[in-house]
Structure 1
Amino acid sequence: MLGELQLGHFEEANKELEALPAEARTSHEDLALRAEFYSQTSSWESLREIADLLVTNWPEDAGHWIFLGYATRRCRSIEEAGKVLKEALVRHGKEPLLHFNLACYAAQSGRLDDARRRLAEAIRLDPGMRKLADKDPDLDPLKEADNSV
């Protein structure tokens, strides 16, 4: 199923997910695959529902929180997504993508000082975040303000 997703064969991936036995549909692995599927198909409400289950049952995985943040931003608000990711920082303070996404949310909300600080922390934790920052339009307000990225 993951291979189908990586190749962009969403219909085939969905068929494989639906063919799983009922008892497998609530396993960690199945829910994580469904989250990936919903993320890649921009099914934000479904992703939010699955990611919420993942965070509730397996909060030790930062990726589940990131999915929940993405989905919350798309189907609710940046502010609510920010709350999700700030809660995740309590457990996963060294996860650069959490800091990066919070920088994006801050930039989009006009909180440029907060965006600078969070982006700097993301890059400190993973210098590869700079390349991601160069391409992410969510950081355009920050780039336009001071070319800090």
Structure 2
Amino acid sequence: MDGSEESTQAVAFAAAEAEADREGQELAVLHACPIPGAWLQKGLPKGSFVEQFMEEEQVVLAETVAGLAGRYPDLVVHKVLATDPPAQALAEAASTAKLLVLGSRGRGGLKRLLLGSTAHAVLAQLACPTIITRIRRVKNSK
């Protein structure tokens, strides 16, 4: 998840799937946020930038899973904050998962054939069944 509407929808879908399974499934919500390069940190007090960055990303993760406990009280939810690139972190998580759920923004060349770049990269190295959710936008016709 990355805090976007697409990823929040994917988390909700994954929670519903885990709850529907009824086999005591647990849900790991992964937020991969690579730490910005050292060149961005140059001149900043040691550790302050990375610590603040990670704290802000923890808040994004917590806000994304905040409503799950009320809707799925029996579902165990693990919040995972990774510093690897998103596609790499997701591929690693998928290696031990029963199901991987991704949201797709569909950005890039020809909207990356209707998938986002992270989803596209993950699909190239599938380790488990994978579902990619998309938000259907209704266009206003005038």
TM-score, normalising length: structure 1: 0.25
* Greater share of residues in helix: 1
